[in-house]
Amino acid sequence: MTNIHKCIFMMLCIATGYCEAQTISLFGLFEIELTNKKNYLNPFSDVELIVHYTSPTNREIRFFGFYDGDGNGGQHGNIWKIRFMPDESGKWKYRYYWSDDTPGGTGEFITTVENAKPGPWRVNQQNPYWLQDAHGNHFLPIALIANIHLTPVDWRDAIQWAISKGYNTIITPTINTTNWGNGWDNTTAFIKAYGKPYGSASGYLKWIDPDRYNLKMWHEWDNMIKTAGEHGIYIAPFEGPSGKYGGQDGKYQPEELVFRPKIRERFDSQRNERFIKYYVARQGAFWNLAYWSLGSTEVHTYAVDDENEFQEYVSYLASITPWKRMITAQDCEQWHGIERRWLSSSSIPYTRKLNTLQTSISSPANPHWGGNDIKNT
């Protein structure tokens, strides 16, 4: 579909509430823009866009849309979007509406196997230590771990470098709720509560508004994932939403180059659930999002309170995410000196568990790590 045809399609969809059928490749991206002209005090929190999909085999899926400002990274506007990744070929139907009874609409799209995308990672059920793509083809991640928060300054270069070296996976955050380099634009998921709209600074200017999201940065994360997918590269989230926002008295005190907000609430507070849904609605339809990450849950007094909250969080995330994507959690057991198998003991199917071990047999800075006898499964 050309850009001109896309514009005509969008105008018809917005004007009539009925969206004429597009043709989407299997595991490709279905996306449309919608307009809601109501004036909300805060469109991120005052209302929810809900979408019901019916697959060619009559499978029913309830999902979400999201508010997107002016649709191009601008913070203000009346544009909303819905995204979906079809995992069956044939005709899909959908209907959408807002939770405040604002009229919605219906539509349909056709999914074809032509130019089908690889789709998210799956467990190889013949050998669960191996992975495959959504079509059953064996997949071996050759991963670059970008242990930084990629920003517009560097993600394009990182992808090009990964391509040149033959990597097929980049492990990096697809949101950033923590680090904020001094002198950069606002690279967090949230807009600033004080100071200039963009451009960070130390001190009180680093406070953020956890109820309003920074759409300029969310567009950059969209573009990073899309660009990687165009080159056949999976993005494997290093971080996920885990309630890590609030003030400046968190685990690390603020300084010139770091901002680590303090956890304020459980994952299932109204504000956190809203943020998790936004994250899922915005990024969940990208075929090359390798899995879902629970975030920095290894420091459990910082991200989640205890195993009970961890298990509830796992179940909640699994329940709102279609496509049965795998879920992982960073579990740096050397920080605790104890053996934790929280993900292993969760009630979600084993096909959705991506168990990993992040530990060390020794470290010059932390020699006690070598004393831990950790046997994670």
User: From edge to edge, which strands make up the β-sheet containing 138-139?
Assistant: 122-123, 131-132, 138-139
CA 233/CA 168 separation, integer angstroms: 5
The token duo for 127 is: 């050998």
Over residues 309-340, the pLDDT tens digits come to: 889 999 999 999 999 999 988 665 555 556 66
Contact 331, 376 (CB under 8 A): yes
Amino acid residing at 147: N
CA 99/CA 63 separation, integer angstroms: 13
Q: Give pLDDT, residue 152.
A: 83
Amino acid residing at 207: W
Q: Give pLDDT, residue 125.
A: 83
pLDDT of residue 198 exceeding 50, the answer is no
- Helix axes of 155-165 and 215-230: crossing angle, nearest 10 degrees: 10
- Count CB atoms within 10 A of the CB of residue 16: 11
Burial of 204 from C-beta contacts in 10 A (0-12 / 13-18 / 19+): exposed
Over residues 263-318, the pLDDT tens digits come to: 567 888 888 899 999 999 999 999 999 999 887 555 455 567 778 888 999 999 99
Per the prediction, the chain carries an average pLDDT of 81
User: Which of 175, 265, 244 lies closest to 213 in space, CA to CA?
Assistant: 175
As a whole number, mean pLDDT of residues 17-31 equals 86
Amino acid residing at 91: K
Q: What is the DSSP string of 56-102?
A: TT--EEEEE-EE-TTSSS-S-SSEEEEEE---SSEEEEEEEEETT--
Highest mean pLDDT among 204-218, 310-324, 341-355: 310-324
Torsion of CA 214, 320, 261, 186, to 10 degrees: -20
Calculate the alpha carbon distances from 98 to 145, 193, 377 in Å.
Answer: 39, 27, 43
* pLDDT greater at residue 250 or residue 292: 292
Q: Give pLDDT, residue 294.
A: 83
Calculate the alpha carbon distances from 215 to 75, 219, 221, 273, 377 in Å.
Answer: 6, 6, 10, 18, 39
Q: Give pLDDT, residue 257.
A: 43
Calculate the alpha carbon distances from 290 to 126, 233, 335, 372 in Å.
Answer: 20, 10, 26, 30
**pLDDT category of residue 11 using cuts at 50, 70 and 90:** very low
The token duo for 75 is: 């913070």
Over residues 30-84, the pLDDT tens digits come to: 999 999 999 999 999 999 999 999 999 999 999 999 999 999 999 999 999 999 9
CA 121/CA 209 separation, integer angstroms: 34
Q: Give pLDDT, residue 166.
A: 96
Highest mean pLDDT among 180-184, 321-325, 362-366: 321-325
* pLDDT greater at residue 346 or residue 88: 88
pLDDT more than 90, % of the chain: 54
Q: What residues contact 55, with CB distance under 8 A and at least 6 apart?
A: 61, 86, 87, 88, 90, 92
Q: Give pLDDT, residue 267.
A: 84
Q: Give pLDDT, residue 343.
A: 85
Q: What is the DSSP string of 151-218?
A: -TTTHHHHHHHHHHHT-SEEEE-SS-SS---TTS---SSEEESSS-SS---SGGGG-EEEEEE-HHHH
CA 201/CA 31 separation, integer angstroms: 36
Q: Give pLDDT, residue 253.
A: 44
Could you tell me the pTM of the whole model? 0.86
Q: What 3-state class would DSSP assign to 257?
A: coil
Domains identified in the chain and CATH numbers: 3-112 (2.60.40.10), 122-371 (3.20.20)
User: Which of 57, 69, 68 lies closest to 31 in space, CA to CA?
Assistant: 68
Q: What residues contact 112, with CB distance under 8 A and at least 6 apart?
A: 23, 24, 25, 26, 89
**pLDDT category of residue 250 using cuts at 50, 70 and 90:** very low
**pLDDT category of residue 355 using cuts at 50, 70 and 90:** confident
Burial of 311 from C-beta contacts in 10 A (0-12 / 13-18 / 19+): middle
* pLDDT greater at residue 197 or residue 246: 197
